[in-house]
């Protein structure tokens, strides 16, 4: 929780700067993607979720430290590989959690708030359900637990992974060439938020788009 709080101190000003930059760019180019009340709704959702997370208002169904203690069969000693593998494991878990949110109605009823905005901009990235209080995400972290990745490493990388998903909620960045084959980009995530039947439940990855291509 301390790592998350410290990350927020950096992330919140960064988010505000990015949103302000996007807003100004929209006015300058005549391609404004912000609507006042829609933006207020997004910011309100983000604020309530920050308060919920900071206060720890969540019911942990299964914890990662317990899984790590029970399942670890090895330990990665080298710091570079430890952090790289940990980040990939978090991304893998995020993909399956996101897929669950889209494929099962119970979880979709919570996740739908993220897709409720009529606009697509960085502010809508803050739209998350405040009713999501069941802590089951550790189930998707079993590969990390088996590899013996310490909880402290996950606590550092998880907020960075989450905040790394903010920037691609924009209409002002086009295709990014060869990066489209490696990471999730704005063009890919625009498809994810599209309401055209052909695009429903597409592009569920968070950082590395390889999970959608497998």
Please choose, from the candidates 112, 64, 113, 110, the residue with its C-alpha nearest in 3D space to the C-alpha of residue 90. Answer: 64
145 and 67 in contact (C-beta within 8 Å)?
yes
The residue with tokens 């920050």 is 50
Residue ranges per structural domain of the chain: 2-213
What is the pLDDT averaged over residues 90-105? 97
For residue 107, give the 3-state DSSP assignment.
helix
Work out whether the CA dihedral 35, 105, 99, 9 comes out positive or negative: positive
Confidence bin at 61 (pLDDT 50/70/90): confident
Tokens of 163: 């905040």
**pLDDT for 3 beyond 90:** no
Nearest to 165 by CA among 39, 15, 2: 15
Cβ distance 118 to 15 under 8 Å?
no
The reported pLDDT for the residue numbered 87 is 98
Per-residue pLDDT of 112-169, as tens digits, reads 999 999 999 999 999 998 888 888 899 999 999 999 999 999 999 999 999 999 999 9
Q: Which 8-state DSSP code applies to residue 117?
A: -
Cα 157 to chain centroid, rounded: 12
Overall pTM > 0.85:
yes
More confident residue, 191 or 137: 191
Report pLDDT for 93: 98
Q: What is the pLDDT of residues 64-74, one digit of tens each?
A: 999 999 999 99
């Amino acid at each position: 929780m301390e790592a998350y709080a410290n990350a927020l101190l950096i992330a919140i000003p960064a988010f505000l700067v990015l949103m302000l930059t996007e807003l100004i760019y929209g006015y300058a180019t005549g391609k404004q993607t912000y609507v006042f009340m829609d933006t207020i709704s997004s910011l309100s959702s983000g604020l309530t979720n920050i308060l919920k997370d900071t206060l720890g208002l969540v019911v942990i169904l299964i914890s990662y430290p317990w899984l790590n203690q029970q399942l670890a069969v090895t330990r990665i000693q080298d710091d570079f590989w430890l952090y790289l593998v940990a980040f990939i494991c978090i991304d893998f878990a995020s993909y399956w959690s996101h897929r669950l949110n889209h494929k099962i109605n119970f979880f979709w009823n919570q996740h739908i708030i993220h897709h409720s905005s009529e606009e697509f901009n960085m502010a809508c990235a803050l739209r998350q359900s405040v009713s999501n209080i069941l802590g089951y995400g550790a189930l998707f972290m079993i590969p990390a637990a088996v590899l013996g990745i310490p909880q402290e490493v996950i606590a550092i990388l998880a907020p960075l992974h989450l905040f790394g998903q903010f920037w691609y909620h924009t209409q002002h960045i086009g295709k990014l060439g060869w990066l489209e084959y490696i990471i999730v980009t704005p063009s890919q995530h625009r498809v994810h938020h599209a309401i055209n039947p052909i695009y429903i439940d597409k592009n569920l990855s968070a950082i590395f788009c390889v999970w959608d291509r497998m």
